Amino acid sequence: MRAVVLSIGRELARGLWLDTHSRDIARALSALGIDVVRHVTLDDDTASIADALRRAADEADVIIASGGLGPTQDDCTRSALAEALGEELVENAEAMAHLERFAKARGQAVSRANRVQALLPKSARVLPNPVGTAVGIEAVIAGARLFCVPGVPVEMRTMLDEQVLPQLAESAGGRTMVVRTVRTFGLFESVVGEKLSDLMTPGRRPHVGTAVHSGVIDIHIYASGLRKEAEALVAADAATVRDRLGTAVFGEGHTGLEDAAAALLAERHATVAVAESCTGGLVAAKLVNVPGMSDHFVEGVVAYANASKVRTLGVDEALIARHGAVSEAVARAMAEGVRARAAADVALGVTGIAGPGGGTPDKPVGTVWMAVADSAGTDAARRLFMGDRAQIRQRAAYAALNMLRLRLMEAHRR
């Protein structure tokens, strides 16, 4: 089965807003083994939407269109569909009943503006929308099945999950696309490429590819086919990837470095504390975003000013004077200081120069010292990160979480 995805809206076409619906819909269709040949982001223009619908019907079995179903003059998906079908728009009783229910729930009558939302091409059917006023539309255009859903994210998502995907899954006949993502941190992409070169040969099944962001390298493995066979192929590759990349692998799918560290904290029944300077609370914020962290995260200190490092973390003023605030000695003292204050099992200290100012030839912008302390002692490492202020802070936070993760793994083995 082949599919074309359409996303409708002037702001989207002109690049004022980022179109994420096309990605979400394409991914969901791919998971059903449906071949998404392209997605198209279109202006709110009746003629060009009608044209896009006709072209999509020429080459695809399924078309999903989002957007343009609202009540304003900008919304022209309904009239474009009528044009593409060569039909007139007529008031649909089911759609009208839906609008009336929604208006009634608010104690109002259906407004003149809203009434246009009940106009559908004659041969089209209503696709129920449990979460908004705009009904979706189901139609057949030149033999292709078309589903139109609203552009409002929660409505799109609900109708896709509850109406569109179940209908398509039924007709996909057991074929599917299986995707697994193995996540790593701390390797160069070229090293990953070398270690996995035989798996990454073009045309090989499963297909193996890499994507890099903020020091995280994701290895995507995907195969389409009958579920069981595709799953076995992908599982075999995932095992090979894990084996070859070792402790650099921190998880799969949507697992973040903070999730991996949090899981280890839970396994060890360990508590953690964090002292941050340049990352300014990012490490704590990432950890605290993991549900259930109240059992493990005790305290974080954002010791941005030197006075705060001395007062709250107990860093020796003389140490700062001698080595500078961005130094191995201070990173160690921060980790040890916050560990003592919070009486935590393990603690991180991070201090660095995020820029744009503050760099020196010795310690250029991007220099970060980080330390991890537990009952076995304290380790420290110096890193140099590239990018702007936000990127340097992001990468430093990831590197610190990875340091915590590796320390907790070692502690397991002790």
Query: Which parts of 100-159 interact with its own copies (CB under 8 A)?
Result: none
Question: Which residue lies nearer to its own copies by CB, 58 or 91?
Answer: 58
| Least distance (Å) between residue 244 CB and its own copies | 21
Q: Kindly state whether residue 175 participates in binding its own copies, applying the rule CB under 8 A.
A: no
| Least distance (Å) between residue 413 CB and its own copies | 28
| Least distance (Å) between residue 201 CB and its own copies | 9
Single out the segment in contact with its own copies by CB under 8 A; choices: 121-129, 141-149, 155-163, 276-284.
276-284
The candidate with the shortest Cα–Cα distance to 10, out of 56, 53, 48, is 48
Q: Kindly state whether residue 173 participates in binding its own copies, applying the rule CB under 8 A.
A: no
Instruction: Output the six-digit token pair for 209.
Output: 């590819």
Q: Kindly state whether residue 30 participates in binding its own copies, applying the rule CB under 8 A.
A: yes
Question: Which residue lies nearer to its own copies by CB, 16 or 318?
Answer: 16
Place of tokens 């990875």: 402
Query: Which parts of 342-401 interact with its own copies (CB under 8 A)?
Result: 342, 355-358, 389-390, 393
Question: Which residue lies nearer to its own copies by CB, 81 or 126?
Answer: 81
Site string for its own copies, 297-336 (x = CB under 8 A): xxxxxxxxx-xx--xx------------------------
Q: Kindly state whether residue 294 participates in binding its own copies, applying the rule CB under 8 A.
A: yes
Single out the segment in contact with its own copies by CB under 8 A; choices: 87-95, 104-112, 259-267, 295-303.
295-303
| Least distance (Å) between residue 13 CB and its own copies | 6
Query: Which parts of 192-251 interact with its own copies (CB under 8 A)?
Result: 202-203, 209, 211, 220, 222
DSSP assignment string, 35-96 = EEEEEEEE-S-HHHHHHHHHHHHHH-SEEEEES--SSSTT--HHHHHHHHHT--EEE-HHHH
Phi, psi of 274 (to 5 degrees): -135, 130
Q: Could you give the strand order of the β-sheet that contains 175-185, starting from the edge strand earlier in sequence?
A: 207-213, 216-226, 175-185, 249-252
Cβ–Cβ < 8 Å for 365, 233? no
| Least distance (Å) between residue 93 CB and its own copies | 28
- Pick the binder of its own copies from 33, 41, 150, 383 (CB under 8 A): 41
- Pick the binder of its own copies from 172, 199, 285, 329 (CB under 8 A): 285
Segment holding 272, helix H or strand E? strand 272-276
CA distance 135 to 98: 8
Question: Which residue lies nearer to its own copies by CB, 301 or 368?
Answer: 301
Cβ–Cβ < 8 Å for 81, 148? yes
Single out the segment in contact with its own copies by CB under 8 A; choices: 36-44, 80-88, 132-140, 374-382.
36-44
Cβ–Cβ < 8 Å for 162, 146? no
Angle CA(358)–CA(359)–CA(365) in degrees, nearest 5?
110
CA distance 226 to 239: 20
Single out the segment in contact with its own copies by CB under 8 A; choices: 40-48, 88-96, 136-144, 398-406.
40-48
Angle CA(39)–CA(44)–CA(50) in degrees, nearest 5?
70
Question: Which residue lies nearer to its own copies by CB, 75 or 374?
Answer: 75
- DSSP state at residue 351: E
